[in-house]
Amino acid sequence: MNSTIALFLAQDGIINGAIYALVGVTLVLVFAVTRIIFVPQGELIAWAALTVAALEAGAVPGTAYLLVVLGAAAAALELAREWRELTARYLLAMLATDLALPIGLLLAVIQLAPLKLGFTFNVIATLALLVPMGSLIYRIAFQPLAEATVLVLLIAAIGVHFALVGLGLVFFGAEGVRTTPLLSGTFPLGPLVVKWQSVSVLVVTLLVLGGLYVFFERTMMGKALRATAVNRLGARLVGVPVRATGRIAFTLAATIGAVSGILIGSLTTIYYDSGFLIGLKGFVGAILAGLGSYPLTALAAVFVGLLESYSAFFASAFKEVIVFSIIIPVLLWRSLTSGTHHDEDEEV
Amino acid sequence: MSDAILKVSNLSVAYGRVEAVRGVSLSIPHGNIVTVIGANGAGKTTLMNAIMGVLPSVGEVALDGKPMGRSLVEARVNNGLCLVPEKRELFSTMSVEDNLRLGAYRFGSSAVPGGLRDVFARFPRLEERRKQEAGTLSGGERQMLAMGRALMSRPRLLMLDEPSLGLAPLIVKEIFHIVTDLRKAGVSILLVEQNARAALQVADYAYVMELGEFTMSGPAAELAADKRVIESYLGLGGGRH
C-alpha cells in the first residue's frame, strides 16, 4: 500500500464514519431520554435514501403511503387504549397530525412527484415524510412500555426493526437504489483527489452535530430532555411533560435519520434492508464510547469507519468481522472495570 | 370557598391493599403556612405526592375551588403548585444554574434572568456554586437548590417535604427563616416535618397525622401548647424522644 491509497482509504473511512457518527449520536440521544436502544434507526436511514431515489425517478415513494398507515395505526391504538382520558382538544390535534397531515402529504406528493422538481424539493419532501414517523413509531410501539425495563424495551426495539424491514420490502420492493449526490466533481488536495460529495457529507454531519450541541446546551427544551434522562421524577416536578420528551427524542432521531439517509444514498447502493448494518456500525461506535458521551461517540464512529475502510483493503472478506469484533475487548474491559461503579451507584 | 388556596376532601391513597392515607381532609388559607406533623411512616409524604399528582388517589383536591380531578403533574405545576420532595430529586449531573433554569420550565427561557436574580438574592451560596454540578453540593446546599428550583416556577402553593431532614441545626434555622420570608412574599406553604418544634413555630395552622389519618388539628400555637402533642412530638416532659 502506498500513501495515495492510504489517504484514499482514509477519505472513504472518514466519510462513512461521519454517517456512523450521526447514527451513534442518535442512539445515545434516544437511549439517554427513553432508555430504548433504537435498533430501527437504520431502517429510517434506508427509507430516506429510498424515498429520495423514488422522487428522483418521478415516482411516489412508499414512505408516503407508509406514513398514512403509521398515522392511522397510532391514532387507532391511542383511541383504543385511552379513550376515557382523551379530551376533545387532544382528539382534534390527533386527527390533524395523525390523519390529515399524512393524507395531505400523500396527495401533495402524488401531484408533485411526477414533475421531478429537483434536489431541493426531494430533500424537503423526504424530510416531511420521514420526520413525523419518529414520534408515530414511539407512540405505536414504545409509549405504552415507558416504565418497562431496558431489556423489555430492547426486545420491543428488535420487534419494531423486523416489522419495519418487512414494511420496507412491501412498500419499496427488493431493488437497490443509488441517488445523485448533492455536489459532484472533484478537486485535488496534495496527492489526493477529494470528492466534493465527501466534503458535503462532512459539512452536513458537522452542522447536525453542532445543532445538537446548541439544542442540548442552550435551549430550555434541550435541557428538559437532559433533565428527564438524569431524573425523571425531578423533571415531572418542574412541569416537564415526560411523555412528550419521548416523542421529541424520536422526532430528533427521525430527523437525523432522514438527513443520514439523504447523505448515504449517494455514497453506496441502498436496499430495503441495508439500514441494519449501518445502524449496527453506529451502535458499535456508541458502545465503544460507553453509550453516554456525544463527542466520544462521534470520534469512535469515525474510528469504526476508518477501521472498516482499511480492513476492506487488507482483508475484504473479513471486513464486517473485524469491525464487529472490536466490540469484544471493549465490552470485556468495561465489564472488568465497571463492577465497582455499580456498587457506588446503588449507594447513592 | 375561594379563601382557601387548597382544599383536600376525604383523600385516600392505597399501595395495593394497604391504605397509607385514609379519608384525610385539610384546607390551606391564602398566604398561610400549614404544617402536617407526625412520626416517620405516618403517611405525610404520601399525602404530598397525592396532592401533587405523582400518586393516584381517591377523593378530591381543589385548587382555588377548582377540583383538579386526575390532571397530570405538569398541569398542576402550571397552575402554581410546586413540591420540594424529601429526596430533593435534583438533576445531579447538570450545573446548579441549569437546575434552576429548568425550574422556570413552565414560563420558558424569558423568565430565567429575573428568576435567577431573585433566587441568588435569597441563596447567595447558590450563586457562588452556579457552574458546579448539583451532585457535588453539600446536603444544605442541595436543599437550597431544591427550594431555589421550586421558586423559579413562582409557585402560589409551595409544598415542602421534610426540608430540614439530615441538615445541621444552623442550616435548619436558615431554611425556616426563608420559609417565613416566603410567606411574607405571599406564598402559601404546606410544610411536612418531623421536626415538629420548628414547624409549629413558623406555621399558622397544624394537623397531626398518625397511621394515615389526621388525629388532631388546630392553630399551631394551640397545638404547641397541647399536652398530648408535647408528649408525643415535642419531647418535653415525657422524655420519650
**pTM, full prediction:** 0.85
pLDDT band for position A90 (50/70/90)?
confident
Minimal Cα–Cα distance from A29 to chain B, Å?
16
Spell out which residues of chain A touch residue B85, defining contact as CB-CB under 8 Å: 233, 237
Which residues are registered as beta bridge partners of B160? B84, B191
* Residues A238, B108: C-beta atoms closer than 8 Å: no
Query: What is this model's ipTM?
Result: 0.91
Kindly report the backbone phi and psi dihedral angles of residue A207, in degrees, each rounded to the nearest multiple of 5, phi listed first.
Answer: -65, -45
pLDDT band for position A345 (50/70/90)?
very low
* Residues B105, A239: C-beta atoms closer than 8 Å: yes
pLDDT band for position B190 (50/70/90)?
very high
* Residues B73, A239: C-beta atoms closer than 8 Å: yes
Residue carrying C-alpha cell 415531572: A236
Of the partner residues A220, A227, A241, the one whose CB lies closest to the CB of residue B94: A227
Of the partner residues A219, A230, A236, the one whose CB lies closest to the CB of residue B91: A230
* Residues A240, B105: C-beta atoms closer than 8 Å: yes
* Residues A238, B103: C-beta atoms closer than 8 Å: yes
CB of B82 within 8 Å of a chain A CB? The answer is yes
Q: Which residues contact A32 (CB under 8 A, 6 or more apart)?
A: A225, A226, A229, A292
Tally of CB atoms within 10 A around B197: 14
DSSP A47-79: HHHHHHHHHHTTPPPHHHHHHHHHHHHHHHHHH
- C-alpha torsion A77→A82→A85→A90, nearest 10: -10
pLDDT digits (tens, 9 = 90+) for B146-186: 999 999 999 999 999 999 888 888 888 888 988 999 999 89
Asked which of A51-55, A69-73, B66-70, B142-146 is least confident by mean pLDDT, the reply is B66-70
Residues of A with CB under 8 A from a CB of B: 85, 219-220, 223-224, 226-227, 230-231, 233-241
Q: What is the pLDDT of residue A343?
A: 41
Q: Which residue of A has its CA nearest to B110?
A: A220
Among B55, B72, B73, most A C-beta atoms within 10 A, so best to mutate, is B73
pLDDT digits (tens, 9 = 90+) for A159-180: 999 999 999 999 998 988 888 8
DSSP A329-344: HHHHHHHHHSHHHHHH
Give dist(CA A206, CA A78) in Å, integer: 37
* Residues B77, A223: C-beta atoms closer than 8 Å: no
Minimal Cα–Cα distance from B227 to chain A, Å?
38
Instruction: Please give the C-alpha separations between residue B91 and each of A14, A228, A266, B150, in angstroms, as whole numbers.
Output: 36, 9, 42, 13
Question: Nearest Cα to A56, choosing from A127, A125, A128?
Answer: A125
Q: What is the pLDDT of residue A339?
A: 58
Spell out which residues of chain A touch residue B107, defining contact as CB-CB under 8 Å: none
pLDDT digits (tens, 9 = 90+) for B10-64: 999 998 888 899 999 999 999 999 999 988 888 999 999 999 999 999 999 999 9
- Which grid cell is B185? 412574599
pLDDT band for position B2 (50/70/90)?
low
Query: What's the sign of the alpha-carbon dihedral A121, A124, A130, A132?
Result: negative
Instruction: Please give the C-alpha separations between residue A185 and each of A56, A178, A200, in angstroms, as whole numbers.
Output: 19, 17, 12
Spell out which residues of chain A touch residue B78, defining contact as CB-CB under 8 Å: 239
Give dist(CA B116, CA B96) in Å, integer: 11
**Strand, helix or coil at B219?**
strand
Among B54, B71, B74, B112, most A C-beta atoms within 10 A, so best to mutate, is B74
CB of B109 within 8 Å of a chain A CB? The answer is yes
CB of B52 within 8 Å of a chain A CB? The answer is yes
Give dist(CA B105, CA A238) in Å, integer: 7
- Which grid cell is A51? 424515498
Q: Which residues contact A173 (CB under 8 A, 6 or more apart)?
A: A272
Of the partner residues A219, A220, A234, the one whose CB lies closest to the CB of residue B91: A234
Spell out which residues of chain A touch residue B83, defining contact as CB-CB under 8 Å: 237
Would you list the domain boundaries of chain A? Answer: 3-337
CB of B128 within 8 Å of a chain A CB? The answer is no
